[in-house]
A and B are shown apart, each in its own frame.
Chain A
Amino acid sequence: MVFLQPGDMSAILLSLKVATAATLVATPIGIAVAWFLVYGRFPGKTLVEGVVNLPLVLPPVVVGYFLLLLFGKNGWIGSILLKFNIQIIFTLSGAILASAVVGFPLLVRSIRLGMEAVDHSYHHAARTLGANVWDAFFTITLPLSLRAVFAGMTLMFARSLGEFGATIILAGNIPGRTQTIPLAIYDYTSTPGGDRMALSLCLVSIFFSFVVLLISNAAAGRSMERR
């Protein structure tokens, strides 16, 4: 890490902060949405499903732009938040929001697959033993799909570490405030003579991705043993 510039450290920390926060914020919502998609019976379910999955296929820049429209100073949500003196755009919250929205479909997909794989008869058994719908969900279905939830979280964490398009539109590229690793790399590559510095950050990025992979594999292995 001899090649790292002083500013790089803040980019790395910021990246970790953004990815962690985005994952933690999105997980409860992801569990709720996945439950809705698996067990909910309502008209227009396909539409909801489409909207949830949209960020997966849209260019992140487009997602970022929509978020900017919504959360901007004159945006639908942004104008309300401004009354409480909360600003999303060009802040850390903006970077977290962008990462959360872009990674969300990956999280939901994983949790949903996990929940669908849990035999619903366990839920039925819990109900006949006196557990209501919520009780049965939190004590049976959720613990049994915990592995999938964790897999979704690691996937989303990794995706957030690499988030670029939506972040640069919504949060900008402000060193020390919203500049994450990918944004810093982008800065270096557009500066003459920044190639080596870009490469060292790339190595950091590869290192993190690898660690996340190892953790997710180890977790999967441990839960296999328990079975």
Chain B
Amino acid sequence: MELSCDIQKLLGTFSFRANFHIGGSQERGTHLAGTKVGIFGPSGSGKSTLMLLLAGLLKPDKGRICLGETVLYDHAAGINLPPEQRRIGVVFQHARLFPHLSVIKNLLYGYNRVPRAQRCIQPEEIIRVLALEHLLERGVNLLSGGERQRVALGRTVLSCPRLILMDEPLSGLDENLKLQIIPYLNEVSAEFGLPLLFISHSLLEMRLMTNQVLLVEAGEVQELIATETLATKLWRSGRQSYINVLHLDSPRERDGIFVYNWGGLSLVLTEQAEDDNAVFELDARDILLFKRHPEATSARNLLSCTVEELSPAGNRVLVDLLCGDGGSTSNNTSSDGIGERGRQRLKVQIVPESVRELGLAPGREVVAAIKASSFRRAG
């Protein structure tokens, strides 16, 4: 299944254009099932407009939208499927749970409207995945923000959509809750194989949720790029610093600090995660590079790395490192920060003077030093 969209819409003085294609023929063999594509752009760029147009809540002026074999909208042919026939689920920004219905009635609202033969997910299953068992009979006004968003997600999944749109589902929640919801979102998408379009203006959310991103700027949907490319692109524009996103697991305590496994490498952190798996942020500016292994240092993490690439931008240079033993450059590693076992990717920001002094060039061996307290919990 694939989603292709070529539409225009004029809203007052705001003109919106979108022309993109996700899944299917463009990348051979790829399937929309389980794909998570982000829609990224600043506020007011038209992200939500795109959501409304895809869901059928807003009618485009001209163009065509296709989801798999189904034509959702075709101006020339006069086709405009109403929202209830599109089978595109939407998780709205503020949950929009029906205030006069209990949690269970909210959950089953969409499910009860799906023909029996098309029901793909059992309510018990999603209630278990989202841990909603103890909330079912409650009124929705008594739920916390995170619980509301979980119910909204369950409600949408139970309507058995072919595609789920998420319109900034985390923006109303505080930092802690976001971290709690993201694993649920990922689990639902993975467990039920539902393709997901995730709208957000937060780069971190994008990197935690998606592999690919559609850029939206000033009412125009631009190219489809890898999420990692977007992160570098934003760094280059000088708007944001580069943040390394590290997936760590199996923490064990050692003298009050914690040793994590980072895909075969060991990292020492001051912060403890509640779960076995955790995601941490590490600012590219918080990493020091040494030419040789320093004799002694206060930094708890010393990683031998190989320089892969240098990307200069103004007075800053982003150094792409491949960490771990051994040293040969490998081009097979994926670009999303997860390398092969025992080899991990890390980006470090330094100034051009340091590049000259250390004599940095691709293939060069360096040692990266990271303080145990530089890591921040992300999800």
Taking beta carbons and an 8 Å cutoff, which residues of A are in contact with B?
119, 121-122, 124-133, 135, 139-140, 143-144, 226-227
Contact = CB atoms under 8 A, between A and B. Distances in A.
Nearest 7 interchain pairs by C-beta:
A129-B110, A130-B113, A127-B83, A125-B96, A128-B90, A129-B159, A130-B84
Interface in B69-109: 82-84, 86-90, 92, 96, 98-100, 109
Interface magnitude class on chain B: 20 to 34
A131 B87 CA distance: 11
Contacts of A131: 84, 109, 113
21 contacts: A122-B98, A122-B99, A126-B98, A127-B57, A127-B82, A127-B83, A128-B84, A128-B86, A128-B90, A129-B109, A129-B156, A130-B84, A130-B113, A130-B159, A131-B113, A132-B84, A133-B82, A135-B113, A140-B98, A226-B139, A227-B141
Contacts of A133: 82
A144 B155 CA distance: 19
Interface in B317-374: none
Contacts of B89: 128-129
A143 B100 contact: yes
Contacts of B96: 119, 121-122, 124-125
A126 B112 CA distance: 12
A128 B82 contact: no
B119 to A, nearest CB: 11
B82 A129 contact: no
Contact of A126 (B82, B109, B114): B109
B55 interface: yes
B331 to A, nearest CB: 43
Contact of B98 (A125, A135, A226, A227): A125
B141 A125 contact: no
Nearest to B51: A128
Interface in B20-44: none
A121 B113 contact: no
Nearest to A127: B83
A124 B93 CA distance: 13
Contacts of A227: 99, 141
Interface of B: 55-57, 82-84, 86-90, 92, 96, 98-100, 109-110, 113-114, 139, 141, 155-156, 159
Given A125-B98, A140-B98, A227-B141, A132 B92 contact: no
Contacts of A125: 90, 92, 96, 98
Nearest to B58: A124
A140 B109 CA distance: 10
Contacts of A132: 82, 84
Contacts of A143: 100
A227 B86 CA distance: 33
Given A127-B83, A129-B89, A139-B109, 17 more contacts: A122-B96, A125-B96, A126-B98, A127-B56, A127-B82, A128-B55, A128-B83, A128-B89, A129-B109, A129-B159, A130-B110, A130-B159, A131-B84, A131-B113, A133-B82, A144-B98, A144-B99
A144 B98 CA distance: 9
Contacts of B56: 127-128
A130 B90 CA distance: 11
Nearest to A119: B96
Contacts of A119: 96
Q: Which of A128, A131, A133, A227 has the most CB of B within 10 A?
A: A128
Nearest to A124: B57
A125 B55 CA distance: 10
A122 B92 CA distance: 10
Nearest to A128: B90
A132 B113 CA distance: 10
A129 B113 contact: yes
Contacts of A122: 96, 98-99
A71 to B, nearest CB: 40
A127 B141 CA distance: 21
A208 B90 CA distance: 50
A121 B109 CA distance: 15
Nearest to B93: A121
A122 B101 CA distance: 12
Contacts of A140: 98
